Structure 1
Amino acid sequence: MSRNSHTPRIFRCTVGVPGQGRIQQQSRRRAEQAFVTGILTSHVDFEHARPWGLTDAADFDSYLLDTAVLLGEAQQAYGSVRARMFHPGDFADFCLLHHLDPAAPAARERYLLNPALRTQLLPYQGEELSGDFIPRLVRARESGLTMCHVDLLLGGGLLAGAGGGQGAAREVPDARVRSAFQRGGELFRRMLVGAGCGAYEFRCAVEAPGGRLTADARILHWEDGAVRLNDEDLDLVCAVFCAGLALELPGVAVLRGSQGGAGSCGEYRQVAWAWQSTGFDWAPASLNLGEIAARPGFGLGSVC
């Protein structure tokens, strides 16, 4: 993680007392506490947030350096560190809805800890902010909005009582929805097992009231059977499948990428498989996605 040598500037997108002062004041009592923060993810968002006094950094690059220092300090002092995208538009709407002053620290605290938005939180484990972590924050916001849409369609049965944090959808409180969520997870597992080792991109879409639900995931499937993908992507894929299965909505899914590995003498082949659902079950189908022609996928019932 990039660090600079000077004391970090005050960063007031955190819960409670801002910046380094908050980290130093209660360090002895924080081993089991969580540190939650919001991060501006672009130059444009940084400029939009300037009037609210979220940071005294001179520019976005300096802001990222200061934020990296703050997160590093928080990692040493807290039991866990979590972050979400601080979206100026969402924040302004939130303040308008709740009659809050966007320049007040209390408004930022309420925004960051809003239960309806906790699906956007990601654990921070020392990643480079300018690497994959900031893009993940952006995707987590988009995914969180989709999760809320799914939860609304299911009458609050997906997220209610599950804590709303990272991975919360895996402990779905509603029995009917939980069954559909588990079926969605099994559906996704069979697609990956049938594909075998390789590097893939997955996309599924379900036509739902209020707009299409979509989920994307990048997957590394190792030759020993291990599968690597981000937890939040797995949750979203399962949630979209869950909505389709529970409400009998039509949908499509495509798995494409490079199949093969070192065990196959370094031989790789480009593949693109597709499945389609009319509302109840998923079956192989042919799809044309722009320049990509996806052939019918394998029968999922034949995969153990």
Structure 2
Amino acid sequence: MSRKGRARRISDCTGGGGPRSHARAPHQRRVEGAQQTFVIGVLASAADFERARAWRLSDAPDYERYLTDTARLLAEARRRFDTVRARMFHPQDFAEFCVLHGLDPAEPAARDRYLVNPPLQTQLLAYQGEELAGDFVPRLVRARENGLTLCHADLLLDGGLYGGAGESDDEHRRWVRAAYQRGAEVFRRMLVGAGAGVYELRLRVDAPGGKLSAAARILQWEDGVVRINDEDLELLCAVLCAGLALELPAVAVLHGSQGSAAAGGHFRPAAWAWSSDGPDWEPSARPVRLDGVAAQPGYSLGTVC
């Protein structure tokens, strides 16, 4: 499957200090060495900006100016560093992190530790010059939500997703890897059967500790080339993996517009549903409504090559 998006966001930052501006450096980190990486936390709303005022994250008078200053800082970072990454700076998460570790939230060191906290590094996105107030800030919000789901899935799999299972537990890692590959193949067959079009896949797995949910927008051309954000693909495959590995009840709906400009610009609405209660996915036994989207039983994935 071809895709265009972002690489997996696992930061290797360990060093201090970065370029300075009104956005302030204390919530930025970089690594010294052959490849320099710049990481920044971004406040994602005016409400978050107001809540964070007491921590002096920015000298900006309002959120609009904050975004302008942050965009300028990111542009400078792209000129100076090999890689630039960002994640949502969530005030509630940060406050709880400081309580958990006994840190003063007004101290730069606390913000540094929060920013590169290993369990939260699944929330990092590569920044490549996107407009902050356009698509990028909403993607940061989704990345935080996705990251929480990834942590939940990894916990259910005893650390098998991100290497926390232990160096000696090769059998466990192989088990998780096999389930991940099966999940990726399920997703591939859904797309191959759908053909060219613009779709959204919604997925829900009923798991211990709460539902695992994932959603992704997908553009598929006639030649099978697919565009999907890498972070969304990672989440879909991880949730599919957890459901298949643990044989949890699950449902998926693929809906959107089937067709292409090359076919004369003819598009038709489409919505298919599948379910799983064990090691395999099958067309749903009856019509499904998931997150307000109604779908008919899908095609057999076993007949898709």
TM-score (norm 1): 0.88
**Structure 2 residue matching 1:239: 3-state secondary structure:** helix
Q: CA deviation at 1:279?
A: 2.3
Hey, what's the Cα distance between the residues in 1 that align with 2:34 and 2:292? 52
Q: CA deviation at 1:289?
A: 4.0
1:4 is aligned to: none
Hey, what's the Cα distance between the residues in 2 that align with 1:52 and 1:290? 37
The question of 1:86 aligning with 2:89 is answered yes
Hey, what's the Cα distance between the residues in 2 that align with 1:288 and 1:133? 30
Q: CA deviation at 1:296?
A: 1.0
The question of 1:77 aligning with 2:93 is answered no
Q: CA deviation at 1:288?
A: 2.8
Hey, what's the Cα distance between the residues in 2 that align with 1:290 and 1:108? 36
2:118 is aligned to: 115
2:184 is aligned to: 185
Hey, what's the Cα distance between the residues in 2 that align with 1:43 and 1:13? 20
Hey, what's the Cα distance between the residues in 2 that align with 1:148 and 1:77? 32
Where in structure 2 are there 5+ consecutive unaligned residues? 1-19, 166-171
Q: CA deviation at 1:10?
A: 4.5
> Structure 1, residues 3-60: CA drift from partner, whole Å, max 9, x if none?
xxxx9424235335xxxxx9xxx9xx77711001100000000000000000111100
Quick check: 285-294 or 113-122, which moved more? 285-294
Q: Contact between 1:13 and 1:37, CA under 8 Å: does it hold in 2?
A: no
Matches within 5 A, 1:6-17: 8-16=21-29
**Structure 2 residue matching 1:194: 3-state secondary structure:** helix
> Structure 1, residues 89-137: CA drift from partner, whole Å, max 9, x if none?
0000000000000000000010011000000000000000011100000
2:298 is aligned to: 297
The question of 1:129 aligning with 2:128 is answered no
**Structure 1 residue matching 2:253: 3-state secondary structure:** strand
Amino acid at match of 1:220: L
Q: 1:263 to 1:10 in 2, by over 3 A?
A: closer
Q: 1:65 to 1:30 in 2, by over 3 A?
A: farther
Cα RMSD of the aligned pairs, angstroms, is 1.8
Q: Contact between 1:274 and 1:296, CA under 8 Å: does it hold in 2?
A: yes
- Percent identical pairs in the alignment equals 63
> Structure 1, residues 68-90: CA drift from partner, whole Å, max 9, x if none?
00000000111100000000000
Where in structure 1 are there 5+ consecutive unaligned residues? 1-6, 17-21, 163-172
- Count, aligned residues: 278
1:138 is aligned to: 141
Q: Which runs of 4+ in 1 moved over 6 A?
A: none
Hey, what's the Cα distance between the residues in 2 that align with 1:102 and 1:217? 34
Q: Contact between 1:15 and 1:112, CA under 8 Å: does it hold in 2?
A: yes
Quick check: 7-16 or 54-63, which moved more? 7-16
